[in-house]
Chain A
Amino acid sequence: MKINNKFKKQFFYGLRKGLPIAFGYIPVSFTFGLMATGGGLPVWLTIFISLSNLTSAGQFAGTSLILAGAGYLEIVLTTFLINIRYMLMSLSLSQKIEPEITMVQRLIFGFGITDETFSVASLENGRLSYPFLLGLISTPMAGWTFGTALGALISKALPDIMANAMGIALYGMFIAIIVPPAKKSKPVLMVVAASIVMNFLLIYLPVFTFISAGFRIIIATILGASLGAFLFPVQDEKETKEEFQ
């Protein structure tokens, strides 16, 4: 009974922590619903994409390739490249979860790792429990699916100008996540700035034009984060907490 209560408490705490993410997802997934159904996919398939993929950039790119009639290999490679970054995130999370979390539980909550659930989880104090993680992924999954369904259904009714405005929603969310920690921690600010500069160099220097967008994101991220680790290594947990709160 006592264990059951602890499970419930952690699960509901997770749900609550996931709620702002869910709200942030609605305009983004709404845009996705508009794009996919507007492009000709059936409403049920559009919703199924969000349920089964639960990712932004990857499913946006994959879906636009499907609509363009691209081959399986192209679709799979592009989606995989965009999603390789999740390996870095779950590697980081694997260090922060309670060690007694079983493999099956890892395989379940792993499904819900996104840029946002990862960021919220890594800013939590202490070890992460399985019920907390389960709660944390549930509300964003619901928000992502709900927004997609809404967008798919409203698809034809919206004037162009409004649909265009929704395109910035995803990036607005990213900015909301990175700016406050960058304001408080000089190392974080330097890492973000260095990564963005690297990204611009990879895009605009003609020597690098052969690099795909997916690889570019990976390279700029690895270089920026490595520079940060080299210049500002975090000494122990306590210091880390202060830097990132």
Chain B
Amino acid sequence: MTKAIIAVLLMALVTYLPRVLPFILFRREIKSPYIKSFLKYVPFSVLGVLTFPDIFTSTGDYRTAIPGTLVALLLAYKEKSLVVVAIGAIITVFLSGLFLTAL
């Protein structure tokens, strides 16, 4: 148990450091339009990379994950809120799971 607690504290440290190091290291304003654009594109890029292809294995069965992904994309395209998109995807996965077990 002590080992698990130490591991959790180490995880907390290496999660916190990247969040605050840039505040300590860089205090000047960045002028270059390239660096500014790069930093503005990063969130979209990183969320896309975190999502695809991992979403297809997120439910343990791609036959439930694919319908869930499609519903999430459709709801997001219609600009529904975060909660609606997440819950829509969960319900779709749940229902596809029920459908598959019924087959």
- A: residues with CB less than 8 A from B are 20-21, 23-24, 27-28, 41-42, 45, 48-49, 52-55, 57-59, 62, 65-66, 72, 75-76, 79-80, 83-92, 94-95, 103, 106-107, 110-111, 113, 115-116, 118-119, 122, 161-162, 164-183, 187-188, 191-193, 195-196, 198-200, 203, 216-217, 220-221, 224-226, 228-230, 232-235, 240, 244
CB–CB B72/A171 < 8 A: yes
Contacts A110-B23, A173-B86 given; does A181 touch B11 at CB 8 Å:
no
**Contact partners of A20 in chain B: CB under 8 A:** 81-83
A115 to B3 alpha-carbon distance, docked (Å): 29
CB–CB B15/A91 < 8 A: no
A214 to B36 alpha-carbon distance, docked (Å): 24
Known contacts A167-B59, A176-B86, A233-B34; 14 additional CB pairs below 8 A are: A24-B86, A58-B15, A84-B18, A107-B23, A111-B16, A115-B46, A119-B47, A165-B91, A165-B94, A195-B44, A196-B48, A229-B34, A229-B35, A233-B33
CB–CB B14/A83 < 8 A: yes
Q: Which residues of B from 43 to 86 have beta carbons under 8 Å from A?
A: 43-55, 58-61, 64-65, 68-69, 72-73, 75-77, 79-86
Does residue B42 face the partner (Cβ distance < 8 Å to A)?
yes
Does residue B103 face the partner (Cβ distance < 8 Å to A)?
no
CB–CB B15/A53 < 8 A: yes
A162 to B60 alpha-carbon distance, docked (Å): 12
CB–CB A240/B53 < 8 A: no
CB–CB B86/A178 < 8 A: no
CB–CB B44/A172 < 8 A: no
**Contact partners of B93 in chain A: CB under 8 A:** 164-165, 167-168
CB–CB A161/B68 < 8 A: no
Q: Which of A41, A170, A187, A196 contacts B41 (CB 8 A)?
A: A187
> Which A-chain residue is minimally distant from B34 (CB atoms)?
A229
A235 to B1 alpha-carbon distance, docked (Å): 54
A219 to B13 alpha-carbon distance, docked (Å): 23
A116 to B82 alpha-carbon distance, docked (Å): 10
CB–CB A110/B76 < 8 A: no
From residue A221, how far is it (CB to closest CB) to chain B in Å?
5
A191 to B43 alpha-carbon distance, docked (Å): 10
From residue A143, how far is it (CB to closest CB) to chain B in Å?
11
From residue A11, how far is it (CB to closest CB) to chain B in Å?
20
From residue B83, how far is it (CB to closest CB) to chain A in Å?
5
CB–CB B55/A171 < 8 A: yes
**Contact partners of A23 in chain B: CB under 8 A:** 82-83
CB–CB A66/B4 < 8 A: yes
Q: Which of B19, B59, B85 contacts A110 (CB 8 A)?
A: B19
CB–CB A199/B53 < 8 A: yes
CB–CB B72/A172 < 8 A: yes
Determine which residue in A54, A72, A171, A224 has the highest number of CB atoms from chain B within 10 A of its CB, and name it.
Answer: A171
CB–CB B41/A171 < 8 A: no
Q: Which of A62, A172, A198, A220 contacts B7 (CB 8 A)?
A: A62
